[in-house]
Amino acid sequence: MLALITAVAALWVVAYLFSCWWLPYRPCGHCKGTGELHSTTFQGAFGGCWRCGGTGRKRRAGAVLLGRGDD
């Protein structure tokens, strides 16, 4: 049973790292991938997202581990 759990976990890790190599970026969760933040205080005011730097995307943890994607 332990061998099966280890094999499934190893397969999951390999699949995750392959997906991070293939698609190293994910949409920024703070701005929802738009790169802009809208003000709740002033109607119509917006600025660039501070978490993603206005790009709308963030590097995935596995992509950082693999060295994929440049910030």
**Which of the 8 DSSP states describes residue 55?**
S
Per-residue pLDDT of the chain (71 residues; tens, 9 = 90+): 999 999 999 999 999 999 999 999 999 999 998 888 877 777 767 788 989 988 999 999 999 989 887 75
* Residue where the block lists tokens 């730097």: 53
pLDDT score of 17: 94
**Per-residue pLDDT, 68:** 87
Which contiguous run of DSSP H or E holds residue 37? strand 36-38
pLDDT at 26: 94
Distance, CA of 14 to CA of 7 (rounded, Å): 11
CB contact at 8 A, 57 and 32: no
0.75 cut: is pTM over it? Answer: no
